[in-house]
Amino acid sequence: MSERDYAPLSIACVRGLCDKLYEKRKFAGVEIEKMVKDFGDANNTSQIKRLIRVLGQDLMASTNPNVKNGALMGLSSVAVGLGKGCIVYLPELVHPIVACLSEGESRVRYQAVEALFNVVKVARGAVLPHFPLLFDALARLAADPEPQVKQGAELLDRLVKEIVTESPSFSLEAFVPMLRERMYARNAAARQFCVAWLGVLDAAPELPLARHLPDLLDALLCMLDDPHPEIRRMCEIQLGEFLRGIKKAPARADFAAMANILITHAQSPEELLQLTAITWIKEFVELAGGAMLPFASGVLAAALPALAYSDEPRRSILHDTPATPPPATPHPATRGAMLPFASGVLAAALPALAYSDEPRRSILHDHPRHPDHPDHPNLPRLRLSET
């Protein structure tokens, strides 16, 4: 191609931009940055568009990694040179850079991460209309096999999170379906990426993530059976934060939308998953009271089997003081004997939560006394939940 074909770039600038040495590419990038500033000062939009087209289309079409790296350096320099003026040209800048994140050559992917970081850093909140494209790219980069690319992606990820949490225009309604879809991935890096985003958004008071919890709870609970301990721990911590938030502001929680999700997972063979789900159910019964009545049979079907387990964590979840064993230990042969009557027992017991008088409500909360205990009441009491 002739110099005319690369205009407004000179042949010397193109050669430097496409050189295999980073220092020469950087020098050519500085030249482009100065050129773009002059175009911007003169309001010469046609030359800016021409320059972006040469970089983002003509040079980017090459199969040579050095040429692609040069094009990426050039696009990054355009954004830096224009400053906030680059907002007008964001689609032409962002799309070719993101496309390079899927290149097989790791050097090109790393240069693309660096270029995208520079563009996003300049544009800040103006880049949010392109957030679905960015988030998809970040999710893929989280599982990149090249450590250098992952390190660069982590810096980009932190920058995007910072922009999202400070922007009043960020839409959780549009974001939650994207996040939920990726949470079902089996890849460990992808799961860590999703839980990390959940934690950041949940910690931002301006973003009411809790109202979207019914859409995210199933996927988050599914991660509790992940084979990687660090992922299970991340999920436990985040679920604990969500539950604490519900207990602080129960009026904002949609108990009905989450009840069946918890009932399903409470019957899982995985101990951590089952224990977590039953814990949530117990808290829901405490907080929502009569609102849980439509789920009575399901709740008991999920809760009563815990009495049949020999391990203390799952059995003690239904009791007020798990560290203290009951005075009378049932014979092992009787454990689970009440399971066939689960729906009937709960149908009889849970309505007490809906009454306003204390005797009928408190019958579900008082710790059972052995008949020989001096404080044993005349009426035996049934113990289903923890205060």
Q: What is the pLDDT of residues 11-40, one digit of tens each?
A: 999 999 999 998 999 999 999 999 999 999
pLDDT above 70 coverage of the chain, percent: 78
Residue 216 lies in a domain: no
Residue 206 lies in a domain: no
Residue 316 lies in a domain: yes
Residue 247 lies in a domain: no
- Band of the pLDDT at 314, cuts 50, 70, 90? low
Flag the least confident range among 4-13, 138-147, 245-254, 312-321: 312-321
CATH number of the domain residue 72 falls in: 1.25.10.10
- Rounded Cα distance, 306 and 326, in Å: 15
When divided into structural domains, the chain yields a total of: 2
What is the model's pLDDT at position 360? 46
What is the model's pLDDT at position 301? 82
Q: Average pLDDT in the 239-265 region?
A: 95
Flag the least confident range among 2-6, 43-47, 212-216, 365-369: 365-369
CA atoms within 13 A of residue 272's CA, in its CB half-sphere: 16
- Rounded Cα distance, 192 and 311, in Å: 30
- List C-alpha distances in Å: 39 to 34, 57, 180, 314, 321: 9, 20, 44, 69, 74
Whether residue 105 is predicted with pLDDT greater than 50 in this model: the reply is yes
Dihedral over alpha carbons 370, 375, 381, 383 (to 10 degrees): -70
Token readout for 296 is 């009575």
Residue 90 lies in a domain: yes
Flag the least confident range among 39-53, 277-291, 344-358: 344-358
What is the model's pLDDT at position 299? 87
User: Comparing 292 with 367, which gets the higher pLDDT?
Assistant: 292
What is the model's pLDDT at position 191? 95
Domain boundary among 85, 100, 123: 123
- List C-alpha distances in Å: 174 to 128, 163, 246: 12, 16, 23
What is the model's pLDDT at position 337? 46
pTM summary value: 0.79
Domain boundary among 123, 142, 173: 123
Residue 221 lies in a domain: no
What is the model's pLDDT at position 358? 55
Residue 115 lies in a domain: yes
Q: What angle do CA 282, 326, 269 make, to 5 degrees?
A: 45
Domain boundary among 123, 153, 173: 123
Whether residue 65 is predicted with pLDDT greater than 90 in this model: the reply is yes
Q: Which domain holds residue 319?
A: 254-387
